[in-house]
Amino acid sequence: MISRISRGLSLVARPVVPVLAFIMIMVMVLSFQYAGPSVYAATPDENVVPLISRQYFQVVRAAMQHAKKSIICVFYEARLSPNHPFGGESLLLRGLISAAKRGVDVRVILEGAPERNNKFVYDFLKNAGVNVSYDSDAMTTHSSFIIIDEEWTIIGSHNWTVGAQRTNNEASVVVRSKEVAKVLRDTFDHIPLKEAQEGEK
């Protein structure tokens, strides 16, 4: 199964293979790998692909690896567990750092409420040079979405936590639409941000 996924990943580098087709292949392969329904045949539109539970990680990781211009993220919860240093959530966060280092414009907004416990991820990204902010205390940002290259939007229930990547029942979708990406980018740009932390001013 791993070799089949590796072959699928190699297709992305070939310009003759549409990225959406690659995503559909990934979802189909992952439907066989993980217990759960196959959503490939139920895709309602060629530009919309459901990601159910564990299908999310491989698709999002590959999409970020091939981002050319920008990765915009909003998360209600993002956590790193010392017990899972190489878990999916850790590899996705490291993928953001790698993208920023290769020149992709990476921006992240996290829910800033203390009970969400996002500080470790905030510090992890900030110390690596990623543009990361908290939302304002005046509001709760319950959204979780990613916009890649102003065209691909991944939105749904998945947060970047151990539970979301390993144990929870989750559902998200990949949408290929510049119009949808623009609406979500406008949403991102209008999220009020918390003032700089002490020592960051």
What is the pLDDT tens value at each position of the chain, 201 positions in all?
Answer: 334 433 433 333 333 345 555 555 454 444 434 444 444 444 556 788 899 888 888 899 999 999 999 999 999 998 877 776 677 788 899 999 999 999 999 999 999 987 778 999 999 999 999 999 999 988 899 999 999 999 999 999 998 887 777 788 889 999 999 999 999 999 999 999 987 554 454
Sheet of 48-52, strands arranged across: 48-52, 171-176, 152-156, 145-148, 70-75, 105-110, 131-134
Q: Whole-angstrom Cα distance, residue 138 to residue 193?
A: 9
Residue with tokens 């590899």: 91
Residue 100 has which token pair? 């920023």
Tell me which architecture the domain covering 44-189 has in CATH. Answer: 2-Layer Sandwich (3.30)
Q: Report yes or no: 153 and 141 within 8 Å, Cβ to Cβ.
A: no
The pLDDT, as a whole number, for residue 84 is 67
The pLDDT, as a whole number, for residue 200 is 52
